[in-house]
Structure 1
Amino acid sequence: MEQREAAQDFFGGRPHLRTDFLVKPEGELRYIETTALVPDIKNWRTFDVIGVTEKDLGGTVFDRLVCLARLRAAMDAGGCEAVPIHVFGGLDPVFTLLYFMCGAEIFDGLSWLKYAYHDDVAMHPDAARILNFQIDHRPDRADQLRHFANLAYLARMKRRMQIWASDAARFEELGPHHVVLRGIYDLVMAEREKGV
C-alpha cells in the first residue's frame, strides 16, 4: 500500500504523464506475494499500467508464471481488468508467450539485441549464423541482419498472440512449441486456482 500511495503522490503532480506502477515485493519478502496485494488492488485503477520484473515474480519459472497468473486474476476481480501488466525484462520468445498466456500484455527487454531468434527460441548470434548458413558475413553485417530478423519475428509473435487472445483454444497459433506451452499453461492455471 505504501508503494502505491507513493506512486500516486508522484504521478498526482504530473497529470500529463502515463503511469506505470512497478510492484515490488513488500517488506522483507523476496518475491511478490499476490495474496498480500489483493486488499489494495482496487486502488490500482488509477494507473495506466501495472509493472513487475521477472525476478520479483518468483524463484523458478513455474513460480513466476503462477504469480503472474494470480496477479492477473486478482486484478480482474478487483476491477482492474482493463489495466495491462507490463513485464520488465521479458522479451525472450518462449518466456514472452508464456507471460502473455498468464496475463501480461506489455513486454520489454534487450534479448532482441543480444540474441538471435531462431526456430522460436533465443540463441547465441554465432549459433544462428551457422544455422542460417551466414558463416562468411562480417560481424556488423550479420548483426544488422539479425536485428531486422528479430524485429520481424517479434511482429509475427505479436500476431500469434493476437490470434490466441481472440480464441484461446487455438494453441497451435503459438508456434512450433505450442504443445509444451499448452502443457505448462494448463499446469499454471491449475495451480493458480489453488491460491486465488
Structure 2
Amino acid sequence: MQDLARSTELKLPSGMTITTPLLVPSFSSKGFKVNRDGLSEVNEPLKTATEILTESMLVSAYDLFHGYLIVEEYPTELVFVDSGGYETGDSHDFSAVWRHNHEVKQWTEEELHEVLSGFPDHIDTVIVNFDHGALRRPVKEQIEAAKLFFSRYPNRIHDFILKPETNGQQYIQMESVLKHINDISEFHVIGVTEKELGNSLLKRMENIALIRNELDKIDVSAPIHVFGSLDPITSCLYFLSGAEIFDGLTWLRYSYLNGNAIYNQNFGATQIGINARDSKVQAKAIVDNVYYLQNLQLQMKSFQAKGDFSSFKYNAEFFKEAYDSLCAQLGGRY
C-alpha cells in the first residue's frame, strides 16, 4: 500500500496556489449563545483571531445570512463558506461542550445562493454545496444536485460534501460512495463530516483511506476535507489516513498544549496564573491555538516530505502505532 499522507497544491481562482494540508479555524453560531442584539458570542473570538489569521478560515453561510456572524474584512488568503448543514442539524460535533439551545431558522438553497452571489469576487473562496440537517438522498442524487449547484460558480473552488442517504442512517454509505467514485472525482475537494465517517476512530481512518485509495487508482488528486476535526490528535490521524483539509470548532472550545486539547481553565491556571481573568485566559487560548495549528501544519508537511514520525513534536509514537493499526485493518487489499 502506498503512503496515504500527501500534500497537494490547490490553484486558487486568483492564480495563487495554496498547499495542503490545511488546518482551518472555523466559526459557527451553533453551540454558542446569541446575545440580545442577535449576534453570536463567537464574534468575540473572531475579533481576536482576525489579527493573526493569515492563510484560511471557515464561516457558515447560514450565520452570514441570518446576521449571527459579522465579518467586516476577511484576513485570510482563502475563505471556506460552509453550506449551513451543521447549523440546521440536530447533531453536534465531537468537541461540543456548550450546547445552548438555538432556534433553527429557515434555510433554503436559494438563500445560500444569495449569500454566495453577494460574496466578494476578489476573495479566493471554497464553497460547499447546499446541505440541510433534514435533507437526505442517494449519493447519485447528491452528486447531480451538487453539479447543478456549482455550475453557477465557475470561479470558485467546489467542495462536495458527502452525506448519509436516508434519515435513519448515521453514517455515509461507503458502498455507494465507492460505486460512484468516478463522478465524485469531478469536484475540486471531497468533503465528509467526522461524525458521519464511522462508529470508531479506526473505522473513520479506514474509510478515509478507502476513499483516498480509490481516487488514487483513477489518478485523481482532489483533497479530502474532514469537517468537524481540528485538534492535535485526530487531525493528524486523518491526515495519515489520506485527508488533507481539516476544520472545526475545537480550537474555540479547548486549549492546545503539549499535543493535547485541554480544558481552558486548566490552561489558564498553568500557563498564565490562577489570578488571570477568564476573558484574558480565553483571548490567550485563542491566539495560542492559532499559532499551535500553524506549527502543527508545518509538522504535517514535514512528515509528508520525509515520512518520519519524529516530524511530530508530540504523540509521534502513538501516531506510528495508529498508522500501523490502520495498515493492518486495510490488510492486503492494496
Q: Tell me whether the two structures share a fold, i.e. TM-score over 0.5.
A: yes
1:39: which partner in 2? 179
AA paired with 2:291? A
Quick check: which one's strand share is greater?
A: 2
Unaligned runs of 5+ in 2: 1-139
2:238: which partner in 1? 99
Q: Relative to 1, partners in 2 of residues 1:146 and 1:22: Cα closer, same or farther, differing over 3 Å?
A: same
2:313: which partner in 1? 175
Question: Between Structure 1 and Structure 2, how many residues are aligned?
Answer: 194
Q: Take 1:62 and 1:74, find their aligned partners in 2: how far apart are those partners?
A: 18
Q: 1:93-149, CA deviations, whole angstroms, 9 ceiling, x for partnerless residues?
A: 101110111111111111111100011110110111223252111111111111111
> Does 1:3 find its partner at 2:142?
yes
Q: Take 1:142 and 1:130, find their aligned partners in 2: how far apart are those partners?
A: 9
> Does 1:69 find its partner at 2:209?
yes
Q: Relative to 1, partners in 2 of residues 1:79 and 1:43: Cα closer, same or farther, differing over 3 Å?
A: farther
1:109: which partner in 2? 248
Q: Relative to 1, partners in 2 of residues 1:86 and 1:39: Cα closer, same or farther, differing over 3 Å?
A: same
Please give the secondary structure, in 2, of the residue aligned with 1:90: coil
Please give the secondary structure, in 2, of the residue aligned with 1:108: strand
Query: Retained in 2: the 8 A contact 1:69–1:189?
Result: no
TM-score, normalised on structure 1?
Answer: 0.92
Q: Take 2:263 and 2:227, find their aligned partners in 1: how far apart are those partners?
A: 21
Q: 1:79-102, CA deviations, whole angstroms, 9 ceiling, x for partnerless residues?
A: 32x201111000011011101111
Q: Take 2:333 and 2:200, find their aligned partners in 1: how far apart are those partners?
A: 17
1:184: which partner in 2? 322
AA paired with 1:105? E
TM-score, normalised on structure 2?
Answer: 0.55
Q: Take 1:7 and 1:46, find their aligned partners in 2: how far apart are those partners?
A: 11
Query: Retained in 1: the 8 A contact 2:192–2:224?
Result: yes
1:15: which partner in 2? 154
Runs of 4+ in 1 over 4 A off after TM superposition: none
Q: Take 2:297 and 2:232, find their aligned partners in 1: how far apart are those partners?
A: 10
Quick check: which one's helix share is greater?
A: 1
Query: Retained in 1: the 8 A contact 2:223–2:244?
Result: yes
Q: Take 1:188 and 1:177, find their aligned partners in 2: how far apart are those partners?
A: 16
Q: Using the TM superposition, name which of 102-111 and 31-40 deviates more.
A: 31-40
**Percentage of pairs with the same residue:** 34
Deviation at 1:177, TM superposition (A): 0.9
Deviation at 1:172, TM superposition (A): 1.1
Unaligned runs of 5+ in 1: none
